[in-house]
Amino acid sequence: MASRAEETSTDLTRHGEDANGAQRQTLVEALLSLDPVDAETKENFSHYEAGFRSVASATTVPPRNPLMRRPGPPSNNKHPQRCPSTLRKLCDFPGCAKAARIQGMCTEHGGRRYCDEPTCPRVAQFGGKCTTHGGVKPCAFPGCTKAVQSRDMCKGHGGGTRCKVPGCTKCSISKGLCRGHGGGKRCATPGCTKWAQREGHCVRHHNAAAAGHVVSELV
């Protein structure tokens, strides 16, 4: 019996058994429970052992990387649909027609990067930070710390869109016009011509409404 066990162990080692100790012991006990092992039986067992090893390796699940997204169902379309306006790949969320941003998702379905500051729920804008925590690109003008609008400049140094009225160098607020030429939004209080600055109202009418006064009586 001892010689048969040694011969079986040598045979398992020769075939490169990858199973764990319990599986090896089960195979050995199953072989020893058979009739005296002849050459044909050992050959059949070798084939069985090789098949068992291939099945075990095929069913082994590799450890999952927590940073990787769960793979979705395989797509038969080799050419994914793209957003007509941006030509970007569409969001992976079922039924969503928005352009994908990060990890195959649009901003509405999680495809956005958040501020690196702990516990900050805001979206990162520049350098991994939100605007509150310094996530703005500074103006390229020497000594200026204001945020860039366009062409690496702030509005004061040439950035941003200019008013479309010929000869006007002010920045446009809305509809391609500066405030002096009709751009911007007016106060929502009837009869007030001041600019809206807080929740659709000018500062005066906003403060009056917050204090509980009737804003129409203050025009």
Residue 143 CA to residue 158 CA, distance in Å, equals: 15
Closest residue by Cα to residue 218 from 198, 203, 204? 204
Say yes or no to pLDDT of 112 above 70.
yes
pLDDT at 90: 82
Q: What region, left, alpha or beta, does residue 66 occupy, with left being phi > 0 and alpha being psi -120 to 50 degrees? A: alpha
Helices (H), 15-141: 21-32, 39-58
Q: What is the pLDDT of residue 61?
A: 44
Q: What integer pLDDT is reported at residue 84 of this predicted model?
A: 60
**CA–CA dist 199, 73 (Å, integer):** 45
Annotated domain spans of the chain: 2-52, 82-108, 113-148, 154-184, 185-219
The whole-number pLDDT of residue 67 equals 38
Has residue 58 got a pLDDT over 70?
Answer: no
Q: Which tokens hold the place of 44?
A: 């059949």
The b/e string for 198-216 (b: 16+ C-beta within 10 A; e otherwise) is eeebbebbbebbeeeeebe
Q: Report yes or no: 22 and 38 within 8 Å, Cβ to Cβ.
A: no
Q: pLDDT per residue over 12-32, tens digit each?
A: 454 444 445 666 667 666 655
Backbone angles phi, psi at 171, to 5 degrees: -75, 140
Give the pLDDT band of residue 210 (cuts 50, 70, 90): confident
DSSP state of 146: S
pLDDT of residue 40: 58
The amino acid at 89: K
Residue 123, pLDDT above cutoff 60 = yes
Of 2-11, 42-51, 147-156, 210-219, the range with the highest mean pLDDT is: 147-156
pTM of the predicted model as reported, rounded to 2 decimal places: 0.32
Query: Is the pLDDT higher at 142 or at 218?
Result: 142
pLDDT at 10: 53
